[in-house]
Structure 1
């Protein structure tokens, strides 16, 4: 009898302690409200949605104590000025593609992607396990920001063109919306690169201000309506084998966060990466079918064009290594990691993919 009474009393005590402890822990943390400036329009639920995933997870994990309000491109600052806003402390945080800022320093591109570089898995491996994050963190110290991977698009498409592009000569004089270092590669091939925010691409293409434009892939491209004004849809996007998006935080603001909040923020960024990548992979095949059904003409870049672009890209990288110490500091270890990744993927990953994709096509017939 005494034993039963003791166990009953102990059980009630434990339940009471649990009930009291949870609110006490929550109450011990401060209420924090941040603003996040996105480089992307709200209409793109995939890439803009990365920031929303972060905000929702952070709020849920802190019981609403840490709230991040997301602002689309243009609501606080233009999409291509997010880095400046975070650096200056205008906003605490941003969600962007770091290759938008290659005009400040080409080295920014490494966090996003560089032409003919790494695919999605290879790039994430380099960042998280190959020393990439440490190299980028050191580079970003001069800009008063800290960055976290917060989204991945996977391999992208080669964009929309008003006319067919058959040889490198067809790129001469071509005015194209294209991001990052790809614009400098295109310029080496005679093209005229234009960096235009996502929400402004369609009117530029419609008015003929540009002759071609790339964004991400079928799911976003269908939403943006490019097929209505340029019917030739090329692949692959050799400049983006896997675009890494970044959550950037003002250094001083990050240092004010409780360690628990910072851990939650970092975990939310990882979740945004997986969520975005999964959504693109699930939605792109469906959207591609719709685009072809709407009259889009799917075309592969010729091997001649790919070889010319590859040669121009690596010539550019060698030039930068000779003139830019910050670029060289990251490029040399990046290149060594790339070589090992290419070796491994040729042995297993690519062999598996090539066979199963071919076998699948034969069964479908």
Structure 2
């Protein structure tokens, strides 16, 4: 190549580089968001999942998109995350959507419908069964858009100051229970209380409430419930899963570069495996420690489970007549639940049941 031609080519290359550099900088702007959570910092899996998510977004975007998490109470109380995102106080939040069932009962499908789906079936329904599209239709009415993030797995039935032997024991029982499940507790004679995580222990200790559920052994141990209520019931029929969501202010989200939007979605699904995997790892040892500390493990009596199941189905039938969002989601989830249970009975249940029987022989 002649020197003159080389300089020509080189000149074009240099010019192209000069043009490209500002374009790259423009497409990767430095953006800072605030991210409020429904969880106290002491819950290092739920709040830890928020920290993990923010770290992953920063890594994916070469530290250009910085999301700063805040624990419950640092900006707004834990049960006001949706409001804070909706009104633009913060750009995004991490919460359990069933906290907002009072705004619309259909929000319960985001976290867990009582007697609904387990963790694997629920994320399947959200991602592939149209569940997330339907939830985002609802969230849009509040100026938000959401994506699933960490899930707790199936939860425990909670801590009771007295033993539950029959439905009579629910009469007048002041029970801290999350989200929509309170409507079922009320229908069977209990008195539901919705209290943020950090406020449950003092209420239980003072006798302001008679019972409380939170998540499961690992988090329940951290919150110290075994010290003030000994009876530990299972299963948490209102939460066969405990699905969390990242919710974003829709105007702020739509203003992001597309690859920053993709970073939020990618990091959210990555956080799902982090949170759910961690709970499955830490809960077995935590349950052993709670039993050693004096917890009395009890299953809910069959009478109680069936009464609550029947009450739930009655409430769902009524809501489906009056609430279009609820009807659409319940129709979809119910059909999928039947198919999923049939498949899980063949595969997961038979395998797990066999392995649980063999566990005692090895």
TM-score, L = length of structure 2:
0.93
Aligned to 1:216: 215
- Aligned-partner Cα distance in 2 for 1:181–1:247: 19
| 1:252 and 2:254 correspond | no
| 1:120 and 2:110 correspond | no
Aligned to 2:303: 304
Instruction: Pick closer, same or farther for the CA change 1:243–1:23 going to 2, 3 Å.
Output: farther
3-state SS of the aligned residue for 1:34?
Answer: strand
Equivalent residues of 1:218, 1:287 under 8 A apart: yes
3-state SS of the aligned residue for 1:147?
Answer: strand
Cα deviation, residue 168, structure 1: 1.0
**1:201-240 alignment runs, 5 A limit:** 201-240=200-239
Equivalent residues of 1:178, 1:195 under 8 A apart: yes
Aligned to 2:356: 357
**RMSD in angstroms over aligned alpha carbons?**
1.9
Cα deviation, residue 343, structure 1: 1.2
- Aligned-partner Cα distance in 1 for 2:154–2:274: 16
**1:279-294 alignment runs, 5 A limit:** 279-294=278-293
Cα deviation, residue 263, structure 1: 0.6
Equivalent residues of 2:122, 2:241 under 8 A apart: yes
Aligned to 1:83: 82
Aligned to 1:315: 314
Aligned to 1:12: none
- Aligned-partner Cα distance in 2 for 1:262–1:30: 13
Cα deviation, residue 359, structure 1: 1.3
Aligned to 1:14: none
**1:52-67 alignment runs, 5 A limit:** 52-67=51-66
Cα deviation, residue 314, structure 1: 1.0
- Aligned-partner Cα distance in 1 for 2:113–2:329: 12
- Aligned-partner Cα distance in 1 for 2:22–2:294: 58
Equivalent residues of 2:27, 2:257 under 8 A apart: no
Aligned to 2:340: 341
- Aligned-partner Cα distance in 1 for 2:25–2:353: 51
After superposing on structure 2, the runs of 4+ consecutive aligned residues of structure 1 that deviate more than 4 Å are 21-28
Cα deviation, residue 28, structure 1: 4.2
- Aligned-partner Cα distance in 2 for 1:58–1:205: 38
Cα deviation, residue 166, structure 1: 1.0
Q: Deviations over 1:31-90 (max 9, x none)?
A: 100001101100000111121111000111112110011111011111101000100011
| 1:274 and 2:273 correspond | yes
**1:6-45 alignment runs, 5 A limit:** 25=24, 28-45=27-44
Unpaired segments ≥5 residues, structure 2: 1-19
Of 143-152 and 26-35, the range deviating more from structure 2: 26-35
Cα deviation, residue 124, structure 1: 0.5
Unpaired segments ≥5 residues, structure 1: 1-20
Aligned to 2:179: 180
Cα deviation, residue 362, structure 1: 3.0
- Aligned-partner Cα distance in 1 for 2:290–2:225: 10
Equivalent residues of 1:26, 1:63 under 8 A apart: no
Equivalent residues of 1:33, 1:68 under 8 A apart: yes
Q: Would you say how many aligned residue pairs link Structure 1 and Structure 2?
A: 348
- Aligned-partner Cα distance in 2 for 1:132–1:201: 31
Aligned to 1:137: 136
3-state SS of the aligned residue for 2:102?
Answer: coil
**1:187-198 alignment runs, 5 A limit:** 187-198=186-197
- Aligned-partner Cα distance in 1 for 2:23–2:298: 61
- Aligned-partner Cα distance in 1 for 2:328–2:236: 26
- Aligned-partner Cα distance in 1 for 2:221–2:336: 35
- Aligned-partner Cα distance in 2 for 1:174–1:68: 42
